Amino acid sequence: MKFIKNFYRNLDFRDFKEFLADSCLYIILTMTVLVIVIYVVALQQVLGTSMEPTYKNQDVLLLNKVQYKIFSPKRFDVIAAQDGSGIVIKRIIGLPGESVDFRNGKLYINNQEVTENFEKATETGDFSLDTIPDGYYFLVGDNRMNSTDSRDERVGLIHRDDIIGKIMFRLWRVG
């Protein structure tokens, strides 16, 4: 009993309040970081050569998960999407309601030639797709000859719900 009385007599509640205030600060900071990582941004690693020369195998990219919850995807955005084989990094070429043609190495959207203002590793063979259904997007890799993308029936068009987010930039290159 004497021990308990001495314990309370020697206990400094100012230190305890300081400890609680510091702990709350770290808990709030940890929760904020978790919310940002889960709902706002993520790191995404490139696997394969389908996006060369823009992104190389093993590059680590910053992914914005909020972009397409607010805005619609745009042509030439580089995105991360879920397909049947996992997460892929590809470029949006065709939007809902459009027709897509690759003829003689040139891109045509609704029979109008569209200039691709980014470096491609290779041109693609001829390809044609009639109207893209609502809610779907036509994706290709920048390394057209070495990319499994919407031109392949195993992948096909990607639904908007399967788009995880927009690639913002490369954080670092591995290797």
| Catalytic residue IDs | 50, 90
What is the Cβ-side half-sphere exposure of residue 3, based on CA atoms within 13 angstroms? 0
Q: Which amino acid is it at 79?
A: I
Q: Which H or E element spans position 138?
A: strand 136-140
Distance from the Cα of residue 144 to its chain's centroid: 20
**In what order do the strands lie in the sheet containing 41-45?**
41-45, 60-64, 163-172, 78-83, 86-94, 136-140, 158-159
User: What b/e readout covers 129-153, taking b as 16+ CB neighbours within 10 angstroms?
Assistant: beebeeebbbbbbbbbeebbbbbee
- The phi, psi pair for 126, rounded to 5°, reads -65, 145
* DSSP 3-state of 165: strand
